[in-house]
């Protein structure tokens, strides 16, 4: 049987990885918007681009 410690460690790691993924994605979105390459935003509706997601 898997111990509470193992489950806790996995959940902790997942939460931390989730946070880091959000951070890396955030940096990517910021750089993409600055470069004019990001189309998935509300601004794209006005310019005839894609949807929110």
Q: How far is the CB of 2 from another protein (least distance, A)?
A: 12
Tokens of 35: 């470069």
Residue 18 found at the interface with another protein (CB under 8 A)? yes
Count of residues touching another protein (by CB under 8 A) = 32
Residue 29 found at the interface with another protein (CB under 8 A)? yes
Query: Site for another protein (CB under 8 A): which residue of 1, 36, 43, 48?
Result: 43
Residue 4 found at the interface with another protein (CB under 8 A)? yes
3-state secondary structure string across the chain: CCCHHHHHHHHHHHHHHHHHHHHHHHHHHHHHHHCCCCCCCCHHHHCCCCCCC
């Amino acid at each position: 049987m898997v111990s509470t410690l193992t489950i806790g460690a996995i959940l902790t790691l997942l939460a931390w990885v989730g946070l880091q993924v959000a951070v890396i994605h955030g940096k990517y979105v910021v750089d993409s918007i600055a470069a004019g390459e990001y189309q998935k935003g509300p601004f794209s509706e006005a310019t005839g681009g894609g949807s929110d997601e």
